[in-house]
Amino acid sequence: MKKLIVAVALLAICLSASPVRAQEARSASEPTTVHPIEVARLFGLQYDVPVAYLVATMQCESNLSNSAKGDLRNGKYMANGIAQFWEDTFNKFKAEAGLETLQYYSMIDQINLMAFAFSRGYDSHWTCAKQVLRKV
């Protein structure tokens, strides 16, 4: 039931301004346009994490772009997506959350998992989270 509520809520925000296009979201199964701030609101509420903190961190990490890449190591970008997860970290957190169906390159799934991680006190995994907290 909870997944249905989230799905309906995501569909309701599809017409938001400045949307992220489907190729930057998850796949054909995600809505064609989704605004990352609206997704952050949903998961911020779900995990009791301040939305402004999530959004400011994602703004710093990726400029709210799901196609962002970072942390270049030996010619390979280690961090990908709106939340700039390293794939190993994403997989570790999704296992802990019991959310095995989450997809690494999905904008919605990255925001979901970032909110989960912040709710568990794992925000120290993001350099930008530390910077955002210093500005507050």
Domain total for the chain? 1
Q: Give the domain range for residue 69.
A: 36-135
Domain with residue 40: its CATH number is 1.10.530
Residue 15 lies in a domain: no
18 located within any domain: no
Cut 0.85: pTM above it: no
Q: By percentage, how much of the chain surpasses pLDDT 70? A: 76
Is 113 within a domain? yes
Residue 2 domain-assigned (yes or no): no
Check pLDDT > 50 for residue 136: yes
Lowest mean pLDDT among 2-11, 94-103, 116-125: 2-11
Residue 30, pLDDT score = 54
| 65 in a structural domain | yes
User: Would strands 33-34 and 20-21 be described as parallel, antiparallel, or unpaired?
Assistant: antiparallel
Q: Is residue 99 part of a domain?
A: yes
Digit-coded pLDDT (tens) for 11-70:
343 333 344 443 344 444 555 578 999 999 999 999 999 999 999 999 999 999 999 999
- At CA 42, angle to CA 36 and CA 130, rounded to 5? 65
Q: Is residue 46 part of a domain?
A: yes
Is residue 51 domain-resident? Answer: yes
Residue 100 is predicted with a pLDDT of: 95
18: helix, coil or strand? Answer: coil
